[in-house]
Amino acid sequence: MPEKFDFLKIKDQKKFEKLPQKEREEIIGEAQEEASLINEIVGENGSKEDYEIITKLAEEEIISKKDIEILKEKYNKKIDDILNSQLTVENIETFADNALTQITSFVDDVLSQYQKYHNNKFAVIDHAEQENQALAFFGLPDIPNILQSIIEVKEKIDNLKVYIGINIAKNNIVITPPDNNKKINAGDGQGIEQKRMFPRFLTLLYILKHDFDISPNEAPAIIGIVTPDMVRQTTYMRMEIPVLNRVVYLCDEEGNVSYIFDVAKIEEQNLTLNEIDIYTKIQKNLLISRHPGIGIRIKQTNIWRNNITSALREPISEASLLKNARQISEFRRGKGEFLSFEEFQCEVISLYSGEKDVRKWYCQERRNHPNWQANPYKKYKDKGWEGWSELVGKNRFKKI
């Protein structure tokens, strides 16, 4: 390895001049390479002191310039991961707080590493200035602006929570009522299982504000009621979004799908929102199946927000959203497990042409679906089953 020279010293200059041409070229080449690497590591915001620190650390073999470059890449990747994290229905209530915690911990880590290089010589510099120097040293973005952005998101979510608490109208009807045989019978000893809650309503308001710049007061919402004999203990709500020509039905309780309808297409079928309000899930599913593009049924998956946004922004397409949803689902079915009645009925309705006897058609079609029961009337007894005609929606109601 070529000998190192301090060219500010006369002694080293004379010594260098006496070396063979080839050796001098090697020394010059190494010095240029080091200078280039230092420039790359320190960057445009680096101070003279930063250059001196890196050079000194390398000379004393405390840390190599390559190690510093690796740290710089590591820190930039970490900050990118924090900034690129997405708000979802699962994390909306903790998203901003978690981001603030991560950023604070990150800055502490960067500052601690920077102080090691400076041998903690910060007696006359305040803490904020130390942080600024450390962030500039590693070529990191403007953290104060990032923190302010996170705080603004937190405030936006908190304000939406307050809005929900005081501004949502209540209607004395059951929106999306249960099907007739999905009720708790008095005295049957059936307990009410505690369900997980997903803040879908809050997330929808956030989507409208963040993605569409639509304020809550531009999207009037009403909530219904639940009755003591209902299995579902949380009401559905209806939100109208006139500027997008959409109406949304959703419930925060686990196990309840969300619906988005195109208001113009509802009107084309001579239907009103008041009528859609009191349609059961089966009736809503039939409406969607019989009139493609009128609406969409969106299950809870970890891309629920993406699907909701797409159905609000683009023409409604059931097929494209279901394709995406099946790729990443938080409610996976193990091998050999069967569909819920609602999922089962939706698949059957989407495939049944209406031309054949339902039972005969089902027996033939079932061969193509390993998760369809041979005797669905036994499997789904007391879970939604009424009969073969009702399974495919025959004569359920005339307008569909």
Q: Which tens digits make up the pLDDT trace of 16-68?
A: 667 777 776 676 666 655 555 555 544 554 555 555 555 554 454 445 566 77
pLDDT at 361 over 50: yes
pLDDT at 400 over 70: no
Structure token pair of residue 268:
């084309």
pLDDT confidence of residue 111: 86
How far apart (Å, rounded) are the C-alpha atoms in residues 237 and 235? 6
pLDDT at 200 over 90: yes
pLDDT confidence of residue 389: 83
* Among candidate residues 274, 270, 279, 290, the one with its CA nearest the CA of residue 400: 290
Could you list the beta-strand ranges (E) of the chain: 169-170, 221-223, 237-241, 246-250, 258-262, 295-298
Across 313-332, average pLDDT: 52
How far apart (Å, rounded) are the C-alpha atoms in residues 328 and 340? 18
- 68 vs 270, which has greater pLDDT? 270
Structure token pair of residue 157:
């979510």
- 180 vs 20, which has greater pLDDT? 20
Which CA distances in Å does 149 have to 36, 85, 96, 209, 294?
35, 14, 10, 15, 38
The answer to whether residues 200 and 251 touch, using CB atoms and an 8 Å cutoff, is yes
Instruction: Express each pLDDT in 272-309 by its tens digit.
Output: 999 999 999 989 999 998 899 999 999 998 889 989 99
Which CA distances in Å does 239 have to 75, 244, 295, 314?
43, 12, 14, 18
pLDDT confidence of residue 334: 37
pLDDT confidence of residue 330: 22
- 10 vs 400, which has greater pLDDT? 10
Other Cβ atoms less than 10 A from the Cβ of 362: the count is: 21
How far apart (Å, rounded) are the C-alpha atoms in residues 62 and 54? 10
Question: Which of 44-53, 312-321, 357-366 holds the top average pLDDT?
Answer: 357-366
How far apart (Å, rounded) are the C-alpha atoms in residues 143 and 41? 19
pLDDT confidence of residue 340: 79
pLDDT confidence of residue 315: 87
Give residue 176's pLDDT band: very low, low, confident or very high (50, 70, 90): very high
Instruction: Express each pLDDT in 215-225 by its tens digit.
Output: 999 999 999 99
* Full-model pTM: 0.67
Strand, coil or helix: 72: helix
Report the side by side order of strands in the sheet with 258-262: 169-170, 221-223, 237-241, 246-250, 258-262, 295-298
Least confident of 29-38, 73-82, 363-372: 29-38
Give residue 325's pLDDT band: very low, low, confident or very high (50, 70, 90): very low
* Among candidate residues 237, 88, 261, the one with its CA nearest the CA of residue 164: 237
pLDDT confidence of residue 348: 84
pLDDT confidence of residue 14: 66
pLDDT confidence of residue 33: 59
pLDDT confidence of residue 203: 95
- 322 vs 234, which has greater pLDDT? 234
What's the burial of 370, exposed, middle or buried (CB within 10 Å: 0-12/13-18/19+)? Answer: exposed
Strands 237-241 and 221-223: antiparallel
* Among candidate residues 143, 167, 279, the one with its CA nearest the CA of residue 223: 167
The answer to whether residues 346 and 337 touch, using CB atoms and an 8 Å cutoff, is no
Q: Where are the domains of the chain?
A: 168-332, 338-400
Write the DSSP assignment of 134-202 as a string of letters.
HHHHTT---HHHHHHHHHHHHHHHHHHHHHHHHH-EE-SS-SSPPPTT-BPPTTS----PPPPB--HHH
What's the chain's length in residues?
A: 400
Instruction: Express each pLDDT in 341-359 by its tens digit.
Output: 888 888 888 788 777 788 8
Q: What angle do CA 209, 212, 217 make, to 5 degrees?
A: 50
Mean pLDDT of all residues in the chain?
78
How far apart (Å, rounded) are the C-alpha atoms in residues 239 and 217? 11
Across 110-121, average pLDDT: 73
Write the DSSP assignment of 277-315 as a string of letters.
HT--HHHHHHHHHHSTTSEEEE---TTHHHHHHHHHHS-
- 37 vs 379, which has greater pLDDT? 379
What's the burial of 201, exposed, middle or buried (CB within 10 Å: 0-12/13-18/19+)? Answer: buried
* Percentage of the chain exceeding pLDDT 90: 29
Q: What is the CA radius of gyration of the chain?
A: 32
